[in-house]
Chains A and B, each alone.
Chain A
């Protein structure tokens, strides 16, 4: 790492520190929180929506995510970047939601996810064509972690380094997961 990239990294961290203290200061809190919403609501919404699939559920989970983010800001240690911390909260909230959804229906997580995919056909906020729906069905056959990795890389176009920070998994393991997922999905699409 050369001196310039070190300086850039340092200044980003300083900016983030300043932003976090704005979020914690009662005087600047409101405007800082608005800024946080404007920056992150869209990417976090799509991250959650890709996992839970229905808009209404995504809306609920996104709301819980921001409430948690706001409530836990004072405990944010700054060990990781703010965005990866928020993505992690959103991911955990979505996983918890999906587990509860399955439990309520008395079925397994996989079955619940299949059901959610089947509902997409009649969803007014899903305008996918046949191939898009098929892709969703293919993804739903994957193990949970592979689904998550595939969606973050393919739909959200996150970098492996970013995914590594969010999921606390090595880049190598993520790359392997992604390639396995791609292979399985391609196979599914060819045979269905």
Chain B
């Protein structure tokens, strides 16, 4: 048997083969493999878009809802005509019901408005005594 000399030109090949078109197929396989990564990225961007869209929708909704809410709260301050109309239409509300809700301050204010005071109470009495149909009014 002749001696082996690995360092000289009689080079021994590894003997490894590959299937036909292996490298072409490998290239195609790898190129396809890096694509799904991009697709998931697209999905994630879309998902982010959804989050953004719902965030914007929520802000818009709040922007509309808050002024509407405060407007509704303000409209609790009913105007005087509405109250008058209501009271006039309510059968059960008379002098007694109204006077029940009047505070001392209200009475003083009413007295001042109607110019009824200690000083002119005699005049009022005189007027009342002179008026013929007094009984009728009082009963009323």
Contact = CB atoms under 8 A, between A and B. Distances in A.
Summarize B's interface: helix, strand, loop or mixed.
Answer: loop
Given A132-B13, A186-B4, A33 B18 contact: no
Chain B's interface size range is 20 to 34
Contacts of B5: 186
A133 B15 CA distance: 8
A34 B27 contact: yes
Contacts of B33: 63, 67
B3 interface: yes
> 7 tightest A-B contacts by CB?
A128-B15, A132-B15, A189-B4, A125-B17, A155-B14, A37-B27, A182-B6
A49 interface: yes
A55 interface: yes
Interface in A25-54: 30, 33-34, 37-38, 41-42, 45-46, 49-50
Interface of A: 30, 33-34, 37-38, 41-42, 45-46, 49-50, 55, 59, 62-63, 66-67, 70, 125-129, 131-133, 135-136, 151, 154-155, 182, 185-186, 189-190
Contacts of B11: 154
A46 B14 contact: yes
A45 B18 contact: yes
A30 B31 CA distance: 8
Contacts of B98: none
